[in-house]
Amino acid sequence: MANLLVTGGAGFIGSNFVHYVVQHTDDHVTVLDKLTYAGNRESLAGLPVDRVRFVQGDIADPSLADRLVSEADAVVHYAAESHNDNSLHDPRPFLDTNIIGTYTLLEAARRHDRRFHHVSTDEVYGDLELDDPKRFTESTPYNPSSPYSSTKAGSDLLVRAWVRSFGVRATISNCSNNYGPYQHVEKFIPRQITNVIRGIRPKLYGRGENVRDWIHADDHSSAVLTILDKGEIGETYLIGADGEKNNKDVIELILELMGLPAGAYDHVTDRAGHDLRYAIDSSRLRTELGWAPSFQDFRAGLASTIEWYRANEGWWSPAKDATEAFYATKGQ
C-alpha cells in the first residue's frame, strides 16, 4: 500500500487514473489540482473518502507542493495545460504550469527523495509522414511543433536533468492520444460526440488526413502503474496500443455509431502547424515490463465512450457553449 500524490487528478486522464487505482490497488491517493477550466471535481464523485483526498491548489506553489510531496511515497504528475488549440491562442499558462509547475514538483521530490513519475506525450517527437514505416521510439529525437508540445518537451528535459544532476528517482512516459470518459469537450472525440447530441455538425480540421494513435485511458493508467512498479529509474517508456486512425475515419465512425450519414460533418479551418501523424512503438514497455493493452477494439471503446457522454450530459453540458463560442472565433 502506498500514498500517491496525483497532480491533475481532476482532469481527463488523471481522474481516470484515480478511478483505476481505487479499483485495482490498495493505494491511497491525494489529488492536487488547481481546477482550471479543464478540471472538474465531479470526475472524482463517488470515490471512497477514506482512499481519495482532494486538495485544490497550484503545482507551481512551492510551499503547497513541498508539503504534499513530503506526505507522499510517490508523485504521479499529470497536471498540465493540455490543449494545442489553446496554446496557439495564449501560450503563457503552458509555460507557467508545464515548465514552472514541473520544476516546482521536481524540487520538492529532490528535497524529500520521493519517487516521481512524469506523464508526457508523444507530441514531443514532432510528427511523421503518412507513409513513414517508422514509428516513435524512446530514441527518436525531440522535435516539438506547438507551444503545448514544446513545453511538454521542456518538462521532460527538466525531469531528465533532475535525475542526472540530483539523483531524483524519476521515470517518464510518453503516451499517444487518449479517449474515454471524463474528457473535456474541447478535445476531438468528445467535441464531435457532444456536437451530434446537441444537433451541431461535427467539425473536421482541414482535410482530416491527420493520423492519431488512439489508446483507451484505462490502458494508459495500467501502463503508468506498471512503470511505477517495475520501471527503471531515469528511463523513458512509450505508451501506445497500435491504434492509428485518421481524423476523417474517426468522425465517420462516430456518425455511424450515432446513427447519422457518413458525410454529415463540416470541414473547418485547419490548426496552425497541425502535426500530420503520430505513431508509437511501445515494444520496450511490452517486452521489458510485460505490459499489454486491454482495449483492442476501437469501435467498441468508442461506442462505450459515446454511451458515457449520452448518459452524463450534466457533466459536460456546462462547458459546451463556451467551448463552441471559442472555436467559432477561430473559424473552427
C-alpha cell at 125: 517527437
Of the candidate residues 191, 216, 220, 320, the single one contacting ligand TDX (CB under 6 A): 191
Burial string for 142-158 (b: 16+ CB within 10 Å, else e) reads: eebbbbbbbbbbbbbeb
8 binds, among ligand NAD, ligand TDX, none (CB under 5 to 8 A by kind): ligand NAD
Question: Least separation, in Å, of the C-beta of 275 and ligand NAD?
Answer: 13
From 10, 8, 42, 12, select the one nearest 187 (Cα to Cα).
12
Verify binding: residue 8, ligand NAD, rule CB under 6 A. yes
Q: Which residues are catalytic?
A: 122-123, 148
Among positions 93-152, residues that touch ligand NAD (CB under 6 A) are 97, 101, 119, 121, 152
Helices (H), the chain: 12-24, 62-71, 84-89, 92-94, 102-112, 147-166, 188-198, 217-230, 247-257, 283-289, 298-311, 313-329
**Closer residue to ligand TDX (CB): 210 or 226:** 210
Q: CB count, 10 Å around CB of 303?
A: 15
Among positions 158-217, residues that touch ligand NAD (CB under 6 A) are 175, 177-178, 184
Among positions 61-90, residues that touch ligand TDX (CB under 6 A) are 82-84
> Residues 265-304: x/- map of binding to ligand TDX (CB under 6 A)?
------x---------------------------------
Verify binding: residue 39, ligand NAD, rule CB under 6 A. yes
Say if residues 253 and 294 touch (Cβ distance below 8 Å). no
Q: DSSP character for 184? A: -
Residue in the structure block whose three cell numbers are 463540416: 266
Q: Is 228 exposed, middle or buried (0-12, 13-18, 19+ CB in 10 A)?
A: buried
Chain positions contacting ligand NAD, by CB under 6 A: 7-8, 10-14, 32-36, 38-39, 58-60, 78-82, 97, 101, 119, 121, 152, 175, 177-178, 184
Chain positions contacting ligand TDX, by CB under 6 A: 82-84, 121, 123, 177, 187-188, 191, 203-205, 210, 212, 247, 271
